[in-house]
Chain A
Amino acid sequence: MSDWPLWEVFVRARRGLSHVHAGSLHAPDAEMALRNARDLYTRRQEGVSVWVVPAAQITASSPDERDAFFDPAADKVYRHPTFYDVPEGVQHL
């Protein structure tokens, strides 16, 4: 028998924080995936909320084209505040 589908698990550690990828697991459906995720990734109260996402549904950028894909941001240093000269003594800027 082939294994159940793979799910990626995201856990919100506390209110006020975003969900963070915790790992993955196999489960036959979303409901079981949620229950398994609780048992696997929050045995010590590591979370107040869990998302499960079918791994097959995730579209990811490819590491091969990493450079080309992220290139457009590489030459735009002026997007950072450190790019600008601030005259001596000017505050709160």
Chain B
Amino acid sequence: MYGNDFGAPSDDPGREATTQVLDVFDELLAGDGRVEPRDAMPEAYRKTLIRQIAQHAHSEIIGMQPEGNWISRAPSLRRKAILMAKVQDEAGHGLYLYAAAETLGVDRADLLDQLHSGRQKYSSIFNYPTLSWADVGAIGWLVDGAAIVNQVPLCRCSYGPYARAMVRVCKEESFHQRQGFEILHTLSHGTPAQRAMAQDAVDRYWLPSLMMFGPPDDDSPNSAQSMAWGIKRFSNDDLRQRFVDMTVPQAEALGLTLPDDGIAWSEQRGHYDYSPIDFTELFEVIKGNGPCNEQRMAHRTGAHSDGAWVREAATAYAAKAAARVSAA
């Protein structure tokens, strides 16, 4: 998941299935087995998954906007083709995930309604603007990089359809991260102005990327239950640390710095230290006060209503074609 699945659950339905059925469920989880769509499961497990998968799906499609912003201004045909392929992948990720959510008995159309009405969230990382071409590089390298760290363990999630969707997503993500790294590498070895542009992008995207893993463990109320259910495999702080450890040497290879003087290798921990994060900003962005929240939602609902005629035309065409077949 993209990191900020920690709001209060929308409702708390409790366990509704019979104890005997739930014994089967518990046994399955104890043996690291996979839960499949029509299996009996606790209602709270189902609701948690719906909320998480929907939020993940919403993040994928909203995530098309910051990068889509640069498709028409990509600096070469090569970069433009790559960026279009990446943004198209993100649409695909959204669709895999909506399909996975639907196996739990919800409709995609309803989930979209909930996104549009603000009842369901998407990752706050996409509420930051893409001010320069280098931001496309920083997003690929840092944002997709953080997403990969979050998503790889989800390939072993206890819910089969979610895990299978994540396998597909993870296969596609590594190109996303590499193309971003390549953009930054090219810029950081270019003119002083290009180098400065790359550094500025990294400076702005570093902290928001770290916040993608969610609040610290002791402030993450739903984590323990998600771990017990095998939905989440590692804590927010463990994943964040893994990301920092991966990224620091990559920044050195880029010849760019990360905007934190506290980053230093700790011999004793065997990890890179980094400065404590002030999460006030994250909570503000989630509340809707980020730089682009309104713009992202306006674009999404606008695209949905602008596309209505296409959906209606396709439905009408299908009905007409079906009528022709039954008349023949």
Given contacts A23-B96, A24-B99, contact A3 B107 (CB under 8 A): yes
Q: Is A45 an interface residue (CB 8 A)?
A: no
User: Residues 67-99 of chain B: 1 if any A CB is under 8 Å from the residue's CB, otherwise 0?
Assistant: 000000000000000000100110010011001
Q: Is A63 an interface residue (CB 8 A)?
A: yes
A92 CB-CB contact with B under 8 Å: no
Q: Are A3 and B108 in contact (CB under 8 A)?
A: yes
> Is B311 within 8 A of A1, CB to CB?
yes
**How large, as a class, is the contact surface on chain B?**
20 to 34
Give the contacts of A27-69 with B (CB-CB under 8 A).
28-29, 32, 39-40, 43-44, 60, 62-64
CA distance in complex: A28, B319 (Å): 8
Tell which of A23, A24, A28, A64 touches B314, judged by Cβ atoms closer than 8 Å. Answer: A28
Q: Which residues of A contact B117 (CB under 8 A)?
A: none
Q: Does the CB pair B314–A32 fall under 8 Å?
A: yes
Contacts of A62 in B (CB 8 A): 38
A29 to B102, CA, bound (A): 19
Is A28's CB under 8 angstroms from B315's CB? Answer: yes
Tell me which residues across on chain B come within 8 A of A60, comparing CB atoms. 38
B322 at the interface (CB under 8 A from A): yes
A12 within 8 A of B: no
B40 contacts A64, C-beta separation under 8 Å: yes
Per the bound structure, the CA–CA distance linking A23 and B165 in Å amounts to: 8
A-B contacts, 18 of them at CB < 8 A, read A1-B109, A1-B315, A2-B107, A6-B102, A23-B96, A23-B99, A23-B165, A24-B102, A26-B108, A28-B315, A39-B92, A40-B92, A43-B88, A44-B172, A62-B38, A63-B39, A63-B40, A64-B40
Q: A4-B314, A64-B40 are in contact. List 14 more A-B contacts (CB 8 A).
A: A1-B315, A2-B107, A3-B107, A3-B108, A6-B102, A23-B99, A23-B164, A23-B165, A32-B318, A39-B92, A43-B88, A62-B38, A63-B38, A63-B40
